[in-house]
Amino acid sequence: MQTTTLVTHEEYFDLLAKSEVKLEYHGGEVVAMAGAQPAHNMLAANFLLSLGYCLKKLGCYIFTSDQLIRVNKCDKYIFPDLVIVCEKPVYEKSPGGLDALLNPEIIIEVLSDSTERYDRTEKFDCYKTIPSLREYVMVSSRKQKVEVVKKLSEVEWLSHTYTKNDENVLIRDCMVMMSDIYDMVDLI
């Protein structure tokens, strides 16, 4: 029988400050984050490049996977692949020095075989509890497929799936070319 030692938020931030790898906090459990495959990294970088200029013109901030976010209702601290905020970013100050973003508006996750089920279910269920969240974007690393799920109300979300047959993907008010998202990416 495997036992799990639960830690407090303070203990988590102490561990995070000393760790050489990213650690997430899941309701008392600390989870080490594995490195990503090249396709995953290229997709995140391509999204950053493709969205960057448009978001900058809209006055938005775009954060990479080193930005910790707080999902209060699920008692989690998570490192999404990309996070976008178009209001003034609000942070929870950490005693260990790594502040957690509290008001993400758009979260982008690149899906992998090992994370896809979690990203689509439990993680998305937690993300939905963030009051500021407006869009959740899931990017396939296996085929040209981007799913954009937009919040219509507190209980209603609308999903649109873009495939290789679509020229553009709409995220917030930014049109991104599918060919730019998957440029130079060797799909798994």
Q: Per residue in 48-83, pLDDT tens?
A: 999 999 999 999 999 999 999 999 999 999 999 999
- DSSP state string for 116-183: HHHHHTHHHHHHTT-TT--EEEEEESSSSEEEEEEESSSS-EEEEEEETT-SEEEETTEEEEHHHHTT
> Given a cut of 80, is residue 177 above it in pLDDT?
yes
> Given a cut of 80, is residue 5 above it in pLDDT?
no
> Given a cut of 70, is residue 111 above it in pLDDT?
yes
E strands within 68-114?
A: 69-71, 76-78, 82-85, 91-92, 100-101, 106-111
Domain ranges of the chain: 36-181
What CATH number matches the domain at 36-181, 3.40.190.10, 2.60.40.420, 3.90.1570.10, 3.50.50.60? 3.90.1570.10
> Given a cut of 80, is residue 1 above it in pLDDT?
no
Write the pLDDT tens digit of every residue in 15-57.
998 988 999 999 999 998 887 888 999 999 999 999 999 999 9
Write the pLDDT tens digit of every residue in 131-164.
999 999 999 999 999 999 999 998 899 999 999 9
Nearest to 81 by CA among 137, 122, 133: 137
